Structure 1
Amino acid sequence: MRKWLRNVWEEVARPLFLRPQRVQFAALCVRNSERGEEVLLITSRDTGRWIIPKGWPMDNTDGAETARLEAWEEAGVHADHLNRKPVGYFTYDKILDDGSAMPVRTSVFRIDVKELADTYPEVGQRERHWFLPKDAAKQVREPELRDLLLQM
């Protein structure tokens, strides 16, 4: 009985209590260069910290397509190839206008970048820069995103 209760707690009850309230989809934008594989990071609009393009779910759009659209809007990415299956996940606390934190679980989709546009919806609102994965990992604040970058 004790083992059964432990399994119910670990597999059902605990995840319900700890489940993030919201989800987002993110784009891990990658290209090959003379230095090797590089990752595109952009700055957030509010704090200027380095992040990957991400956004909230959209109606009639799956996670991979949402990630592709966010990469376009936030960084001007034209995708060469979009993986439909997430390459990983990370969690972070979204700070709301009232100062409270809302946990968010973010599914990350790899996008092989064909080219970057000079004109796109959020041009001038963010910086963008290519990093080697180990250098990108040093720039981001989210530990799980850092781990994902280091596994590349």
Structure 2
Amino acid sequence: MAKPDLSEDMQCAALPYRLGRHGLEILLVTSRETRGWGIPMAAPSEERHPDRTAEIEAFHAAGVKGAISRKPIGDYPSSRRSAEGVDSACVVEVYPLLVSNEAATWRDKSHRRRIWFPGNEAAEKVADSGLAQIIREWQESRITSGRGTAKMARGRGGSRHG
């Protein structure tokens, strides 16, 4: 597999989702620094594809595993904070992750909260307006394409299982 062009100003994010009682639900996690709601994200690695980086970070930050899309559903401008506390601009690529397993314990459990929200509510809760827009557009595209049903969500087309 060809290695993707990695940039220092890129982040790979997983958008964990499931079909629950309220239809499409999205798992949000709190940021370690600001405690605001967001999704698991990490800097890309030269050793793995960005979707795999997002998949691994979803387990580390939220304790979830499942089938991740090989293609991002979009990207948005954001900022990230270095270990030294310096903010810098970045672009976040978002990969949907159909959750099939939630761990009771995971690496960042003591530093983060995780909660399932209905899609529209998740878009309202996230701290980043670019992420909110991606959630809304993705949810709408699933509804208009008919992929918002439980039967379709269980399909395996175009995704990789983790």
* Category of TM-score, reference length = shorter chain: 0.7 to 0.9
Residue 44 of structure 1 is aligned with which of 7, 11, 31?
31
> Is 1:118–2:104 an aligned residue pair?
yes
Matching residue of 1:53: 40
After superposition, the C-alpha distances for 1:43-98 in whole angstroms (9 at most, x for unaligned) are 0111100010000112311010000000000001111x211000111111224466
Query: Between Structure 1 and Structure 2, whose CA radius of gyration is higher?
Result: 1
Residue 13 of structure 2 is aligned with which of 19, 23, 26?
26
After superposition, the C-alpha distances for 1:14-36 in whole angstroms (9 at most, x for unaligned) are xxxxxx85101000000011110
What TM-score, normalized by structure 2, do the two folds share? 0.76
Please, which runs of 5 or more residues in structure 2 have no aligned partner? Answer: 1-6, 140-162
Please, which runs of 5 or more residues in structure 1 have no aligned partner? Answer: 1-19
**C-alpha separation in 1, matches of 2:43 and 2:83:** 17
More helix by share: 1
> Is 1:69–2:56 an aligned residue pair?
yes
Matching residue of 1:87: 73
Task: Kindly report the root-mean-square deviation, in angstroms, between the aligned alpha carbons of the 2 structures.
Answer: 1.6
**C-alpha separation in 2, matches of 1:70 and 1:99:** 21
Which consecutive aligned stretches of 4+ in structure 1 deviate over 6 angstroms post-superposition? none
CA contact (8 A) 1:27 1:52 kept: yes
